[in-house]
C-alpha cells in the first residue's frame, strides 16, 4: 500500500512537470507570435523585457532579459517562500526563457511569411485581435503552469514576496499594481497610449483564462430556495430534474418561524424547469441563484480530472 502511494506521488510529480513544460511552451508561443512583434506588453517581467528588447534595438533577447530580471526575485523567494515552490518556479522560468529565445527565429519567420501575408493591410495589422489571441494563449499557458504548483517568476513571485512583508495587501491588489505600472512604463516608452490599451485587453483576457483553468468555468448554478412548501418542491426536483437536494434548517428572523432552506446544484439548462416547478407549487417562494466555478461529485466532474 505504501509502495503504491509512493508510485502515485512520483507519477503526479512527473505529470506536474509535464504540464509545466507544455504551459511554458504555449506561453512562449503567445509572446513570440502575438505580443512581442507588435509591442504589446501586458505587464509582468515579459512586459519589461519587451520594452528593453525594442529600446536596445533587439540586442537583448526577451527570454534572456526575463531570466536576468528574475534572478533577484528567486534569491528573495528562496529565503521567504518554500523551497519546493521556488524550485518548480525556477524550472518553469528557465524553461520559458529558453523556449522564448530558441523559438523566436521560427516565430519571426512564421509571422513574416504567413501572418503578414494573410492580412489585408500588412502596414496596419489588427492589433486588437493579436492582443485577444495573445492574452488567451498566455492565460492558457500560465494557467497550466500555475495549476502544477509553480509560476513563471516575474510579477507573481514579486507579489508573493511583497505579500509576505505586507499581508494587509492581497495578492490581487499587488499584482494589479505591478502589472499596471509595467503597462504604463511600456506605453510611455513606446510613446503610444493605444498600445497601452491593447496591453490591458491582453492582460484582462489572460487573467480570465487563468482563473477559468484554476477554478473551472462557470457552468453550474447553486440554488437556495425558501418556501413554506419546501418538501413538495424538493420532491418534484428529485423526480423531474433528477438532482439532489439538501434541506438546511433555518429560522425566519422576522416571523421567528422555523423552515427549510433547500440547497440544490444543477446545470444552467435546468434553471427554467426549476423556476417552473417552484412557480407551480409556491409563487411566493424565495429563490437565490449563484454561479458555481467547479463542482466535483456525482452528476458533475469526477475527482481525477
Give pLDDT tens digits for 150-203: 788 888 788 777 877 887 876 667 888 889 999 999 999 999 999 999 999 999
Question: Residue 10: is its pLDDT beyond 90?
Answer: no
Average pLDDT, the chain: 83
- Domain extent listing, the chain: 2-215, 220-292
Q: What is the pLDDT of residue 95?
A: 93
Residues 254-268: tens digit of each pLDDT: 778 888 899 999 887
**Cell triple for 66:** 526575463
User: Domain 220-292 falls in which CATH fold?
Assistant: Alpha-Beta Plaits (3.30.70)
The per-residue DSSP string of 124-176 comes to S--HHHHHHHHHHHHHHHHHHHHHTT---SHHHHHHHHHHHH-TTS-HHHHHH
What distance in Å separates the CA atoms of residue 271 and residue 241, rounded to the nearest whole number?
10
Amino acid at each position: 500500500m505504501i509502495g503504491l502511494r509512493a508510485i502515485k506521488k512520483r507519477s503526479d510529480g512527473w505529470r506536474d512537470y509535464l504540464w509545466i513544460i507544455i504551459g511554458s511552451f504555449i506561453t512562449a508561443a503567445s509572446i513570440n507570435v502575438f505580443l512581442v512583434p507588435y509591442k504589446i506588453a501586458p505587464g509582468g517581467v515579459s512586459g519589461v523585457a519587451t520594452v528593453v528588447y525594442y529600446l536596445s534595438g533587439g540586442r537583448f533577447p526577451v527570454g534572456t532579459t526575463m531570466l536576468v530580471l528574475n534572478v533577484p526575485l528567486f534569491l528573495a523567494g528562496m529565503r521567504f517562500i518554500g523551497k519546493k515552490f521556488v524550485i518548480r518556479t525556477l524550472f518553469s522560468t528557465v524553461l520559458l526563457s529558453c523556449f522564448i529565445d530558441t523559438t523566436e527565429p521560427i516565430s519571426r519567420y512564421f509571422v513574416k511569411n504567413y501572418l503578414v501575408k494573410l492580412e489585408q493591410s500588412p502596414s496596419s495589422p489588427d492589433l486588437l485581435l493579436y492582443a485577444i489571441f495573445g492574452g488567451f494563449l498566455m492565460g492558457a499557458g500560465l494557467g497550466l503552469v500555475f495549476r502544477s504548483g509553480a509560476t513563471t517568476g516575474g510579477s507573481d513571485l514579486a507579489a508573493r514576496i511583497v505579500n509576505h512583508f505586507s499581508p494587509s495587501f492581497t495578492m490581487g491588489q499587488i499584482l494589479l499594481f505591478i502589472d499596471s505600472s509595467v503597462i504604463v512604463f511600456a506605453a510611455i516608452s513606446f510613446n503610444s497610449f493605444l498600445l497601452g490599451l491593447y496591453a490591458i485587453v491582453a492582460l484582462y483576457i489572460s487573467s480570465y483564462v487563468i482563473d477559468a483553468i484554476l477554478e473551472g468555468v462557470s457552468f453550474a448554478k447553486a440554488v437556495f430556495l425558501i418556501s413554506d412548501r419546501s418538501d413538495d418542491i424538493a420532491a418534484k426536483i428529485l423526480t423531474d430534474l433528477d438532482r439532489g437536494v439538501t434541506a438546511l434548517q433555518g429560522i425566519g428572523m422576522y416571523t421567528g418561524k422555523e423552515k427549510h432552506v433547500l440547497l440544490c446544484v444543477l446545470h444552467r439548462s435546468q434553471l427554467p424547469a426549476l423556476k417552473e416547478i417552484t412557480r407551480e407549487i409556491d409563487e411566493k417562494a424565495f429563490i437565490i441563484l449563484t454561479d458555481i466555478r467547479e463542482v466535483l461529485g456525482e452528476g458533475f466532474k469526477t475527482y481525477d480530472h
